[in-house]
Amino acid sequence: MKKLFFLTFLLTLLLPISKIHAESVPEDVYDYLSGKPFVIANSTIENLSFTDNNNTTGTQMYNHYTISFENPIDISGYSSYSVGGIYGAGVAIIFNYDNGTSNTTVAGGSGGYTTLDLKGVKKITLARTGTEGSPGFLYDLKVFVKKTPTPVLNPTLDVTIEKEKVGLGQEFTAGVSLKNVKDIYAEDFEIKYDNQHLQYLGFEEVAGYKVYNTPTDLNGTLRFIVASKGEDYGINKDTVILKLKFKAKAIGTAVVDSTKARIADTEQEYDLEKENCLEDSIIIEATDVNKSGEFTLVDLAIDARYFKYLAADVDPVKYNAQQAGDEYVNDDDLLYIVDQILSNSNYLPNS
């Protein structure tokens, strides 16, 4: 009778950290121990019988068993299935913390879920309770931790122009990228560009992604249907899927805008919110010598006049004397100006 009273008293001391009644397993937790082996204390002998999700394989608690965690875990609950030994011997579950303290509960026989609130557990130890008679068996132990919240994705199609400014007549590239997505393999999107300031030169495919339609330029609007080339190119992070090539044809600020988009994983497709179809802009400046906006014979004449001058000394407010080569006005500059004159469709020779 004294022995029974002592065991009852002991179990009462061991239970303060948990709710005693069984509960259903919450949806926001998972079994952290599943498939992870305990080892016999002070050895490397492993035992998977506690964490194999099988209530028919167990171990009689003649030894202490431990499992340690590289990083401390926060435990939200546990469940266990055990059978007591002679004289009420059971199985203690000891939760050890980094600071050397611990909390202890006793393995139950039903396998029901019990809520815990333990922060920073570094190790779990399994041991028998009671010192007389045969120890009990432990068949199953589950320790539950919170699931990592799935981030709320906000799919975005972005346009990025690396250059802030470009000279009139110069070419540049705009990258089209998909962001904040998971396992996306196909995209259908529209791009609008400022055709008053820009000339569309075409597109450049990115390795792993292919344009499967024939984009037609409809007064500054382009449609692209792009797909990944294999599972290695499923999009799960910020990824450039296409590059667009333009030439600056008029002074001012030009915009390249992704106006609408639809994306698809292997199960369904999604339309992007309008505010998540982004744009970028670029400033187009006059780069000819007299800043008129195009290269003509006058530009050649100016640099010819200041031949061998330090370009910075040639009234920089009025002129762009530096066109090519080093910091002096020389043959490199004049040759470059002539090349630009010959490529200027508005400049016609004397007829």
Mean pLDDT of 254-262: 97
pLDDT beyond 70 at 78: yes
Residue 53 has pLDDT above 60, yes or no: yes
DSSP states of 295-317? --HHHHHHHHHTTTSBGGGS-TT
Residue 7 has pLDDT above 50, yes or no: no
Higher pLDDT pick, 110 / 16: 110
Contact between residue 137 and residue 61 where contact means Cβ atoms under 8 Å apart? yes
**What 3-state class would DSSP assign to 268?**
coil
Other residues' Cβ atoms within 10 Å of the Cβ of residue 212:
11
Residues β-bridged to residue 253: 283
Among 107, 83, 88, 76, CA closest to 14: 107
- pLDDT > 60? residue 20: no
* C-alpha to C-alpha distances, 333 to 91, 160, 206, 289, 327, nearest whole angstrom: 89, 32, 35, 10, 10
The arithmetic mean of pLDDT across residues 297-309, rounded, is 96
pLDDT digits (tens, 9 = 90+) for 263-293: 999 999 999 999 999 999 999 988 899 988 8
pLDDT at 182 over 80: yes
Cα–Cα distance between 88 and 91 in angstroms, integer? 10
Q: How does pLDDT run across 123-168, given as a tens digit for each residue?
A: 999 999 887 778 989 999 999 999 877 667 899 999 999 999 998 8
**Single-letter amino acid code for the residue at 224:** F
Quote the tokens at residue 326.
Answer: 């080093």
Percent pLDDT > 70 in the chain is 93
* Per-residue pLDDT, 98: 86
pLDDT at 12: 38
Which tens digit of pLDDT belongs to each residue from 212-257? 999 999 999 999 999 999 999 999 999 999 999 999 988 899 999 9
Q: Regarding predicted confidence, which is higher, 253 or 15?
A: 253
The three-state secondary structure class of 286 is coil
The pLDDT of residue 3 is 42
Q: Residue 312 — very low, low, confident or very high, per pLDDT cuts 50/70/90? A: very high
Higher pLDDT, 42 or 204: 204
Residue 325: predicted pLDDT: 84
* Residue 27, number of CB atoms within 10 A of its CB: 7
Structure tokens at 331: 């043959």
Q: What are the CA-CA distances from residue 344 to residues 73, 166, 191, 320, 337 (Å)?
A: 69, 17, 28, 18, 11
Q: Give the start-end residues of each E strand in the chain.
A: 29-31, 38-40, 46-47, 59-60, 65-83, 90-97, 102-106, 114-129, 137-146, 156-161, 165-167, 171-179, 186-193, 198-205, 209-211, 221-228, 239-248, 252-264, 269-271, 279-285
Are residues 93 and 104 in contact, defined by beta-carbon separation less than 8 angstroms? yes
**Strand bridging mode 156-161 / 279-285:** unpaired
* φ, ψ of residue 60 in degrees (nearest 5): -80, 135
Which one, of 29, 280, 51, lies nearest residue 161 by Cα? 280
Q: Which of 108-122, 200-214, 251-265 is the least confident region?
A: 108-122
Q: What is the dihedral of CA 310, 316, 318, 321, to 10 degrees?
A: 40
pLDDT of 16 reads: 39
pLDDT at 18: 42
Q: What is the mean pLDDT of residues 52-66?
A: 92
The CA–CA distances, whole Å, from 134 to 93, 94, 308, 310 equal: 18, 20, 104, 100
What is the value of pTM for the model shown? 0.55
pLDDT band (50, 70, 90) for residue 343: confident
Please compute the mean of the pLDDT values over residues 1-30 and round it to a whole number. Answer: 54
